[in-house]
Amino acid sequence: MTKLAQWLFGITLFLSIWLALLKDLTPIKVTDENFLWISLIPVGLIALFGIISLIIIAYRVSTFNNCDEAAKELLKEIDEAKKDLATKGFKFK
Amino acid sequence: MRNKRMSETKYSIILPTYNESENLPLIIWLIIKHMESENFEVIIVDDNSPDGTTQVALELQKIYGKEKIVVTGREKKLGLGSAYIHGMKFAKGDFVIIMDADLSHHPKFIEQFIQKQKEKNYDIVTGTRYAGDGGVHGWNIKRKAISRTANYVTQVLLRPGVSDLTGSFRLYKKRVLEKLVESCISKGYVFQMEMMVRANQFGFSVGEVPISFVDRQFGESKLGGNEIFQFLKGLLYLFSTT
């Protein structure tokens, strides 16, 4: 099953349960009070997923290592390399 | 001479190049320096670069010998996948390491890849910028945000089991790389992604080693609107076919 099929399967399953709930086909009875809440479940889940995603991404951006040491070390090694290669007879352009 | 060699396993480093005449001597020098204790060869696949990369490669071959440096190439610039296939024809090792020649991938990590591979006899070891001590240098906040977002969306949609899909600093068992290149059709960033996703599909085991990625190419030329469009297209392709 492709990832697309897995998602479609999951979404269809969810929507069927939700519609059954909404159409009063489950033991949980729909009342005037909870109707609004039940009908908002999908929107709520999407919003929740969005918020969690944003928090995760923001956290990962802020903790993305900067590797300044690695860059410095590389520059030093490039210097060494140029000197050593020159002594081995390599001509830089 | 003291026998520093831990084993006789041979590692073939494939270095696809295009206009890397300035970086090539440096990357070769770094590889030689950091691979001292291993049995290895470097296969330079240069696609007839107008800046004379092939001549530079041949000069380095004179210095370090034909055992260590193999120089080959194609008539004109072709895809990365085909560069790997071409390079593998010359590879005498059981393991192939692929990396970029622009100095963004430091050869000091290869030894860690090798140790990681031995740990659990992994089929693939990939460098990761997104886990542990891994990271990048030379990226502004916008570049980081785009990269992290793209990575997050990919993780959610494809669940590939590895943290860095678009990197191209990896070690493969030779037959594994052969099989993967055969079955991957994408280009650019997406090619690297497809390699990992298919690896997961085929049940190949993948180990990860955190790497520091030092971006020396300034500007954002590598990440324009078109790049992002190609990435999304590739993502949807993999999402709907794997």
Q: Please write the tens of the pLDDT for every residue from B17-60.
A: 999 999 999 999 999 999 999 999 999 999 999 999 999 999 99
B27 close to B59: Cβ distance less than 8 angstroms:
no
- CB-based contact B25 A60, cutoff 8 Å: no
B102 vs B224, more confident:
B102
Average pLDDT over residues B77-105: 93
Predicted local confidence at residue B221, as pLDDT: 52
In whole angstroms, give the CA distance from residue A3 to residue A40.
27
Q: H or E segment at B13?
A: strand B10-17
Predicted local confidence at residue B150, as pLDDT: 94
B87 close to B43: Cβ distance less than 8 angstroms:
yes
In whole angstroms, give the CA distance from residue B27 to residue A74.
11
- CB-based contact B148 A3, cutoff 8 Å: no
Predicted local confidence at residue B218, as pLDDT: 52
- Calculate helix-pair angle for B80-88, B188-202, nearest 10 degrees: 60
In whole angstroms, give the CA distance from residue B242 to residue B239.
6
Task: Answer whether residue B224 shows pLDDT above 80.
Answer: no
Give me the residue from B21, B30, B139 closest to A93, CB to CB.
B21
Shortest Cα distance from B165 to chain A (angstroms)? 16
Query: Which residues on chain A are in Cβ contact (under 8 Å) with B26?
Result: 78, 81-82
In whole angstroms, give the CA distance from residue B160 to residue A12.
23
Give me the residue from B26, B137, B148 closest to A81, CB to CB.
B26
Mean of per-residue pLDDT scores for chain B:
92
Query: Quick check: B158 contacting A, CB < 8 Å?
Result: yes
SS3 at position B95: strand
Provide the token pair at B235.
């993502």
- CB-based contact A61 B144, cutoff 8 Å: yes
Average pLDDT over residues B124-135: 96
Give the ipTM of the model, two decimals please: 0.90
Among B100, B129, B137, B79, smallest CA distance to B23 is for B100
Predicted local confidence at residue B78, as pLDDT: 85
SS3 at position B62: helix
What amino acid occupies position B170?
A: R
- CB-based contact B103 A84, cutoff 8 Å: no
Predicted local confidence at residue B223, as pLDDT: 66
Average pLDDT over residues B120-137: 96
Predicted local confidence at residue B225, as pLDDT: 81
Tell me the residues of A at the B interface, defined by beta carbons under 8 Å apart.
Answer: 2-4, 7, 53, 56-57, 60-61, 64-68, 70-71, 74, 77-78, 81-82, 84-85, 88-93
Shortest Cα distance from A53 to chain B (angstroms)? 8
In whole angstroms, give the CA distance from residue A80 to residue B191.
35
CA distance to A79, B34, B57, B217, per residue, from A85 (Å): 10, 15, 13, 23
- CATH architecture under which domain B10-138+166-181+197-216 falls: Alpha-Beta Complex (3.90)
- CB-based contact A78 B26, cutoff 8 Å: yes
Q: Which residue has the tokens 């090694």?
A: A77
Predicted local confidence at residue B116, as pLDDT: 98
Shortest Cα distance from A50 to chain B (angstroms)? 11
Predicted local confidence at residue A32, as pLDDT: 85
- Quick one: pLDDT band at residue B186, thresholds 50, 70, 90? confident
- CB-based contact B137 A66, cutoff 8 Å: yes
Alpha helices in B93-166 (DSSP H): 108-120, 141-158
Task: Answer whether residue B153 shows pLDDT above 50.
Answer: yes
Sheet of strand B69-73, all strands in order from the earlier edge strand to the far edge: B69-73, B39-46, B10-17, B95-98, B170-173, B124-128, B206-210
In whole angstroms, give the CA distance from residue A18 to residue A12.
10
Q: H or E segment at B33?
A: helix B23-34
Residues in CB range of B90: below 8 A, 6 or more apart: B12, B43, B70, B72
Task: Answer whether residue B203 shows pLDDT above 70.
Answer: yes
Predicted local confidence at residue B2, as pLDDT: 47
Look up residue B122 and give its DSSP letter. -
In whole angstroms, give the CA distance from residue A29 to residue B224.
53
Residues in CB range of B74: below 8 A, 6 or more apart: B45, B47, B48, B82, B83, B86
Predicted local confidence at residue B222, as pLDDT: 59
Give me the residue from A65, A81, A88 closest to B30, CB to CB.
A81
Predicted local confidence at residue B7, as pLDDT: 58
- Quick one: pLDDT band at residue B201, thresholds 50, 70, 90? very high
Predicted local confidence at residue B217, as pLDDT: 65
Query: Which residues on chain B are in Cβ contact (under 8 Å) with A4?
Result: 239-240
pLDDT (tens digit, 9 = 90+) per residue, A32-84?
888 999 999 999 999 999 999 999 999 999 999 999 999 999 999 999 999 99
- CB-based contact B152 A53, cutoff 8 Å: yes
Domain positions in chain B are: 10-138+166-181+197-216
B164 close to B127: Cβ distance less than 8 angstroms:
yes
Average pLDDT over residues B160-175: 95
In whole angstroms, give the CA distance from residue A41 to residue A34.
11
Task: Answer whether residue B5 shows pLDDT above 60.
Answer: no
A1-15, B95-109, B184-198: least confidently modelled range: B184-198
